[in-house]
Amino acid sequence: MKHRKCDRCDRPATNHSVEIVNGQKIEKHLCDTHAAEEGLAAGVAPNTFNDLLSNIVKPAAERSEASDLACEDCGLSYQEFRKHSLLGCPGCYEAFESQLGALVERAHEGGTHHLGKVPRRARAGEQRQQQVLRMRTRLTEAITAEDYELAARLRDDIKRVEDQLS
Amino acid sequence: MTLQRITDHAGEWLRGAGPDSEIVISSRVRLARNLAGYPFVGLASVRQREEVLQRSREEVMNGQLGRDLLWIDIETAQELDRQLLVERHLISRQHAQPDATCPRGVAIGTDETFAIMINEEDHLRIQVLRSGMQLREAFDHADRIDDALERRLDFSYSSRFGYLTACPTNVGTGIRVSVMLHLPALKMTGQIDKVKRAARDMHLAVRGLFGEGSEALGDLYQISNQTTIGRSEREILEDFEQSVVPKIIAYEQQARQALLRERVTRLDDKIWRAWAILTHARMLRSEESMALLSHLRMGVNLGRIDAIDLRCVNELLLLCQPAHLQHINGATMSAHERHQARAELVRRRLGAR
């Protein structure tokens, strides 16, 4: 197999694109580095958390009043968090909850709430809450699949567990 | 246990045993945890860091995780020792950075099956290593360590976000599941980028031998999950174990079979050239030795060469690295001296003169 070289250097081209601009066909063959520069290699560019932050969260955060938001516990501002991608203390999760909620959802394939291990201290109540969360997801799926029998059963189960919780 | 004893033996995870060990060098599970009531490491004062270190160290070293644990104070350790720990994947490159003001350390378990970093990016990073494809075993062990530690340590947790971590990329379960894969045939047949892209589409990170930003020396790649919240540890693990890794193993095997079928002479040429150079060279650079050892390893796996076994090649992949070489030789060495010592070590281990 013969490899095509990158249009801009001698490395093998691993990203290929064809665009039609003003009726002109423009082909691009680029190595990972140059493709990343051109924003072509969606997959191969190192998708670090910083990229995610600047590409996705930046516009939203700049528009909102998040710019003068700060954590009361440790004093970290939202701006500083954006610069280093590191939070200052557990309290930051509360202080920036709405911003972080959106960001976490995008960085984690739509994950918004923790499902999984619960520290021993918090166990009983937490596990039931997670159970309800799972059942709700299944309920939505059942309704989408028009499985109303299952949906009805899940609704009853959710109500029962929620009664226990309250 | 001492650091010297570590140098003399390869860790359990390099045994070259375990399921699918031809392609899966090792399995690793890491859990990130932070003590409640303290800022994360980055914003903690020196005194707070010291407190975190002391409390964590006490719980880690009090015998409940095994008797033969080795504790190393990283901020006062010699640079060569820190580098050695990085080469053995017991601490991260970040943890090894020279910074005398941040009290930090690592506890290393028997046979290097686990290592707990304290005051890296998070207060505690519990890592378990196994050779071959043994993610479940690695997770169960990490989970047991976490259970033992949380008996007396209060970990930061919220019902919405789960275990709270300094970086939101780790929040939730705090779990990072990863495998180190040897993919020489995919590299040789030019398909490695396709695999990388596919992996990234599945929200997985593909990295080189030493994690973020490092090159894939010796055709060794680390693949790990990026999603840590919204799915349980078991779901993340199962996905990896039953879908992701088997697929990549199958690709690599197909590529190897294709090489055997269609380009066997070229394949043998690469393997035997690697053997020839490794058994005769008088000077070897690190990258060169890794590339050659990679071809040799594939040759052993495919039964094209039977003069040595897998364990021997695995060990050489580790011992050829700069800090290991210098530890074996008991002295700091210039690059020139290292090249010479590396060639000598390789010849000796491969039974050549």
In angstroms, what separates the C-alpha of B353 from chain A's closest C-alpha?
38
Instruction: Please give the mean pLDDT across all residues of chain B.
Output: 92
Which range, B95-99, B176-180, B348-352, has the best average confidence (pLDDT)?
Answer: B176-180
- Using an 8 Å CB-CB cutoff, list chain A residues near B166: 86-87
Nearest residue in chain A measured CA to CA from B146: A119
Give residues with Cβ within 8 angstroms of B82, minimum separation 6. B74, B91, B96, B98
Average pLDDT over residues B127-155: 95
Q: What is the mean pLDDT of residues B133-161?
A: 94
Query: Average pLDDT, stretch B290-319?
Result: 93
Percent of chain A with pLDDT strictly greater than 70:
66
CA dihedral B87, B90, B95, B97 (to 10 degrees): -20
pLDDT digits (tens, 9 = 90+) for B103-120: 999 999 988 999 999 999
N- to C-terminal Cα distance for chain B? 33
- Across the interface, which of B40, B163, B200 has its CB nearest the CB of A44? B200
Contact A120 B146 (CB under 8 A): no
Q: Which class for B336: exposed (0-12), middle (13-18), buried (19 or more C-beta within 10 A)?
A: exposed
Report the gap between the CA of A20 and the closest CA in chain B (Å). Answer: 24
Option in A74, A90, A115 nearest B156 (CB): A90
CA distance readout (Å), A112 to A22, A128, A130: 43, 17, 12
* Helix or strand run (H / E) with residue B125: strand B124-131
Question: Chain B residues with CB inside 8 Å of A99's CB?
Answer: none
The 10 Å Cβ neighbour count of residue A5 is 13
Q: Where residue B301 falls among pLDDT bands split at 50, 70, 90?
A: very high
**Where do the domains of chain B lie?**
3-256, 264-349
Write down the pLDDT at residue B7.
Answer: 66
Low-confidence ranges of chain A (pLDDT < 50): 1-2, 41-47, 55-63
Alpha carbon of B141: minimum distance to chain A alpha carbons (Å): 14
Q: Which residues of B touch A12 (CB under 8 A)?
A: 190
Extract the runs of DSSP E, i.e. beta strands, from B17-56.
24-33
Q: What is the pLDDT of residue A1?
A: 38
Please tell me the predicted confidence (pLDDT) of residue A61. Answer: 45
What percent of chain B is predicted at pLDDT more than 70? 94
- Beta bridge pairs of residue B127: B30, B115
| pLDDT above 60 (res B321) | yes
CATH topology of domain B3-256: Creatine Kinase; Chain A, domain 2 (3.30.590)
Q: Are B203 and A107 in contact (CB under 8 A)?
A: no
pLDDT of A9: 80
CB B200 within 8 A of CB B227: no
Compute the C-alpha angle B74/B80/B86, nearest 5°: 65
pLDDT for the residue A24: 62
Question: Which residue of chain A comes nearest to B200, CA vs CA?
Answer: A43
From chain A, the residues in CB contact with B164 under 8 A are 90, 93
Q: Would you list the domain boundaries of chain A?
A: 1-45, 48-113, 120-165
**pLDDT recorded at residue A29:** 77
Rounded distance, CA B229 to CA A105, Å? 9
In terms of CA atoms, which chain B residue is nearest residue A13?
B193
Q: What value does the mean pLDDT take over residues B14-40?
A: 90
- Alpha-helix residue ranges (DSSP H) falling in chain B: 3-8, 46-61, 79-87, 93-96, 135-150, 184-188, 192-201, 233-238, 245-262, 264-280, 286-301, 310-319, 322-329, 335-349
CA distance B326 to B333: 6
Cβ B190–A113 below 8 Å, yes or no?
no
Amino acid B65: pLDDT: 94
pLDDT tens, residue by residue, B197-220: 888 888 899 988 766 666 678 999
Say if residue B15's pLDDT is above 80.
Answer: no
The residues on A that touch B, with CB distances below 8 Å, are: 1, 3, 12, 14, 32, 43-44, 46-49, 73-74, 76, 84-90, 93-94, 97, 100, 103-104, 107-122, 126, 129
ipTM at complex level: 0.88
How confident is the model over B250-260, as a mean pLDDT? 96
